Structure 1
Amino acid sequence: MQEAQDKIVFTTEDGEQIEFFVLEQTKLAGETYLLVADSDEEEANALILKEIQGENKETVIYDTVEDEQELEALSKVFEELLDDIDIEME
């Protein structure tokens, strides 16, 4: 994993705040994606999030990628961008 990772705090629909480590960001087909992890440990749980424009231009929403084909393609992209990352899909 990277040495100094940025952290980002997400607020759920219920108002709960969840902190993630941002491992990488990429654009694919005009869309922005983040690879985030719940810890900075080697065996962390990771999510791929898709950036969605909110109702106003100041708001950005991130939603988990759930489409299997999109998830598989993005996993390969992130593995190429980060040499020391191996993404295992569950």
Structure 2
Amino acid sequence: MEKITLNIDGEGSHDFYALEQTVVAGKTYLLVTDSEEGDGEALILRDDSDSEDADALYTIVDSDQELRAVGQIFVKLLDEDGIELDL
């Protein structure tokens, strides 16, 4: 798992571990967790940066409809790797 550090406005930086990545309708999504091993809290992040931006700008996906759609893709991708995801 790749470790990534995200700077969260007003909260400093936090380390996450990238589980999977996918692209839907031209937007890149990351599935990350706060734990390198075992059960952890998972988040789906959407890359909202422009292609010319030096740094990526990730937004936590909180729309129920978007979470369901992208989450189902991640469930299928992780299932192929033998990882169970409970959304």
Unaligned runs of 5+ in 1: none
Q: Distance in 2 between matches of 1:7 and 1:25?
A: 13
> RMSD across aligned C-alpha pairs, in angstroms?
1.6
3-state SS of paired residue (2:53): coil
Q: For the residues of structure 1 that align with 2:36 and 2:49, how far apart are their CA atoms?
A: 28
User: Who is 2:84 aligned against?
Assistant: 86
How many residues align? The count is: 84
> Is contact 1:75-1:87 (8 Å) kept?
no
> Residues of 2 paired with 1:75 and 1:68: CA distance?
10
Over the matched positions of the two proteins, sequence identity in percent amounts to 38
> Would you identify which runs of 4 or more consecutive aligned residues in structure 1 move more than 6 Å?
none
Q: What CA distance in whole angstroms lies between the structure 2 residues aligned with 1:72 and 1:27?
A: 15
- Which TM-score applies when normalising by structure 2? 0.86
Normalising by structure 1, report the TM-score: 0.83
Conservation of the 8 A alpha-carbon contact between 2:32 and 2:45: yes
| Deviation at residue 41 of structure 1 after TM alignment | 2.7
Which of residues 24, 32, 35 is equivalent to 2:31?
35
Q: 1:71 aligns with which of 67, 75, 83?
A: 67
